[in-house]
Structure 1
Amino acid sequence: MTVWVEVTLQSHRSEDGSIGALAGQLQRIAAFADMPGVGMRITTRDIPLKVPRWRLSVDTLDGGRTLCAVQEEGIPMPGFTRYRTFARSAGEDLAASLIEFAQSDDALRGPLAKAYRHVGPETGVTPEGGDGETVDVAAPEPPPGREIERIEWRIDTGGADILATLETSEEELPALRLAAPSVNGALDAVFRVAGEVIDAAPFFIAPDETHESETEAVHAQKLDLPSKATRREAFAAIAASVAEQWFGNAAASRAGLGDEHVHQLRVAQRRLKTLLKLFRDYIDDAWHTHIAPDLKWFGDLLGDARDWDVFTDKTLTAYADADDSAERWQTLIAAADVKRRVARDKVRDALASKRYARLTLAFVEWLARFASHDDESPARFVSYAEKRIRKDYRRIARVPDLVSLEPHERHRVRIHAKRLRYALEFFRSVTSRRTRDDTAKRLGELQTVLGEANDAAVAADRLASIPEASDYQRGFARAWGAAAAQKDAQEGERLLRSMRRPRVKVPI
């Protein structure tokens, strides 16, 4: 059975809801120019499966119905997938067709064994079940079908034959799927064409399917790495989860970039930075050349926007609430809000830029190539996780009394605490329950306490750069920062010394 690799791009919906204008732009790209697209309208209906990484649907085209099963392989990541497909014509009795489909290939027997129970009232009674007996397959009303407008191109790249599919529906934004049989040169071909599309048309890497229509900020999902996973598999899975949060917030913010979108985009970048430090040996020249410079550009914009959000909404508001005259701070808050909006506009413009689209494509391509390579020296990640967690914990546990440290030294402790907390999140499936519930919580509290002190120090510097700030307000900020540093250092010291050493629960 052929294994396919596929890059998925997404675009904004046109004013009339059709894909004709997008198809016209694609036809001006060299890869599409001499290949006429074939248009069609199909109805597809998903059939529920409880088996992970499997999808099943029935597609109707020109009155004929086809059962389509897809098995995803490898590490799931936004914008890229590796999969196998199975297809079979469906007769009038859909339940009977599903049973025959499940029995037609050993790979389908388990995943599709009970699929016939979910095809709806049209099935009635099927004379032959999986055990040869009569089976009552009456089921709840199935989910309605989706009408899809689709245009297909067959592209010969010289190295791989690509099936390019542009499609849209009322429920989904237009998507372009570039798929090719997984042979030598396939990855090169699909990503090369994807790059040409991104450069010439309004497309970007598609987010995870669960987030493509959301507008709320996307938080990091809990990871459940198998204890037998290798280091390489663990790295790829963690990187994919970072991409899910990153791309999910980018997609959610297109309807309006809010402060929580900025915050979660910033968190995703920090998680990625922690991951790269945990697995330094996996970072190669391609990463440093094609990804790192633009990642820093985007991260700097996010950092500035996030700092202005905290300064405007949290720090200045706290100053005003603590002062005997909150009114005297309103002009300064308004001035800071202007700078905050400018910083956020820069992030918004960046998210819509070709530079950002190329960055995300380069990230997905790098990760897809990394995940496709054979592991020459496979080793379980558990042993590595235990060593990294122990080392990072010692780094903060052995510091002197936080009260005695200089502000920049306490800030370094905060950074190390943050990295350890992210590491515990990445490796949570192999840590003890007490580590997940207690140590991780204390690390979060320590990070927050030391972060508030750092925010106060940053705020004093920002105030000095705002012309609208008075001498009184600058002095107020310096005094606040000094008091906060002392108080937060004491609380941070208490949290640090009460923290239990993290433990890995799986035998090594």
Structure 2
Amino acid sequence: MNSSRSQQRRERHRRYKLPRLTATMTCQEAFRTIARGCLDDLVENQQATCEGNREALHQMRIALTRLRGARSFFSSSIPSSEWSPLKGELKWLNKHLSQARDLDVALKRLSSVEDTSPQQSLDRVWRKTWSTSHRELSRALHSRRYRILLRDMLIWMENGNRSPDSLKPSTSLTTYSDRQLDRWYKKLIKKSRAFDDMNAGQRHRLRIQSKRLRYALETLGQLLPSKSHAKVREFLKSLRKIQKCLGQLNDAEQGRAIATTLATRDDGARSRSLFPTGRKARKRMIKAAALTFRQMAELKPF
């Protein structure tokens, strides 16, 4: 019975739900609504993450990415005072979540490989590293530093927009969103033109930029004119494809980096081989991503 209850706890997690925004909201109100939902997701998934629920951890990372992306999207409409220390603390939290998540993805890949005797030896090393990473994450999520971060974020969100600048007339949410989405879209397309010549780090940064645009569009696309909805849906489909292609490349790179760190003689070469980034496979994924970027450039959704 206790084992059953423990399993149920591990399976509990909260998935992201799009916030309800209206055209009558100010940009500050829209940001607070989005940010509150992200904080709720962090809080609701914390316990399950500490219990080893991989999906809950994934949802915490999504919430954090959406929160940071929303702050960037509305940066010209919300005060920047007190953001700097919060930004640093969010980076600290993201580091812990990312390290554990990267190991989750790598270990899943490792588990899918045929179970042989040498593989069992590798499996023990990786699982020990995974356990260590998740213990560190659990300590971070139970720390006073994390509680203070959540408290300060909430205070900043609720009271930070009371500054004199926020009392000035602002652009309507619909107009601001349309302009900002178009601006982010153009920046992404411009950077993607050099995609074929990018290294792994540059592709990763482009992936983050694509992901933030996708999250912003999923949240604020509901405010765009109905005549543009078909193009927006097509554009979102392309962004998801980009995220998948670049995500596979990044997972392979991260897996190989972890494997290199854990490498011990023969086991090192064997474990690195589990995360193939062969020239043909990499070229195929890069080609698919480059084609999708070109198709996105022709859409002009905004």
Tell me what 1:330 maps to: 120
The aligned residue for residue 188 of structure 1 is none
Q: 1:480 aligns with which of 267, 277, 287?
A: 277
Partners of 2:60 and 2:92 lie apart in 1 by 14
Q: Could you tell me which of 135, 138, 141 is aligned with 1:348? A: 138
2:88: which partner in 1? Answer: 293
Structure 2 residue ranges without an equivalent (≥5) = 1-8
The equivalences for 1:1-400 within 5 A come to 216-253=12-49, 256-281=51-76, 282-289=78-85, 291-314=86-109, 316-317=110-111, 320=113, 327-370=117-160, 375-398=167-190, 399-400=192-193
CA contact 1:215–1:253 (8 Å) conserved in 2 = no
Distance in 2 between residues matched to 1:479 and 1:302, nearest whole Å: 24
CA distance in 1, matches of 2:25, 2:198: 40
Amino acid at match of 2:156: W
SS of residue paired to 2:123: helix
Distance 2:53 2:132 in 1: 13
Correspondent of 1:416 among 199, 209, 213? 209
CA distance in 2: counterparts of 1:280 and 1:441, whole angstroms: 26
Is the 8 Å Cα contact of residues 259 and 268 (structure 2) preserved in structure 1?
no
Change over 3 Å in CA distance of 1:301–1:497 after alignment to 2: same
Alpha-carbon distance, 1:332 to partner = 1.6
Instruction: Measure the CA separation in 1 of the matches of 2:268 and 2:139.
Output: 35
Structure 2 counterpart of 1:186: none
**One-letter amino acid of the structure 2 residue matched with residue 397 of structure 1:** I
Query: Does the Cα contact within 8 Å between 1:401 and 1:493 map onto a contact in 2?
Result: no
The answer to whether the 8 A contact 2:252-2:277 is kept is yes
Shift of 1:222: 1.4
Q: What secondary structure does 2:202 align onto? A: helix
SS at match of 1:427: helix
1:330-383 residue CA offsets vs partner (Å, 9 max, x unmatched):
322321111111111112122222221111111111111135566322321222
Instruction: Indicate the residue corresponding to 2:252 in structure 1.
Output: 456
Aligned AA (1:361)? R
How far apart in 2 are the matches of 1:475 and 1:417? 28
In 2, distance between residues paired with 1:296 and 1:227?
32
Name the one with the larger helix percent: 2
What is the distance in 2 between the residues matched to 1:409 and 1:253? 30
Shift in alpha-carbon separation, 1:352–1:391, aligned structure 2, 3 A: same
CA-to-aligned-CA distance 1:434-459 (integer Å, 9 cap, x gap): 24532112201211111111111222
Q: Distance in 1 between matches of 2:231 and 2:126?
A: 40
Do residues 501 (structure 1) and 299 (structure 2) align? yes
Q: Does 1:407 align with 2:171?
A: no
Higher strand proportion, which one?
A: 1
For the 8 Å contact 1:456–1:481, the answer to whether it is kept is no
* Cα pair distance change 1:258/1:340, threshold 3 Å: same
Measure the CA separation in 2 of the matches of 1:435 and 1:224.
21
User: Paired residue for 2:219?
Assistant: 426
Amino acid across the alignment from 2:234 = D
CA RMSD of aligned residues (A): 2.7
Contact 2:104 2:130 in 1 (8 A): yes
Deviation at 1:312, TM superposition (A): 1.0
Unaligned runs of 5+ in 1: 1-212
Alignment CA distance shift 1:464-1:275 (3 Å): same
The aligned amino acid for 1:394 is K
SS at match of 2:20: coil
Please give the alpha-carbon distance, in whole angstroms, between the structure 2 residues aligned to 1:453 and 1:221: 28
- Structure 1 runs (4+) deviating above 6 angstroms are none
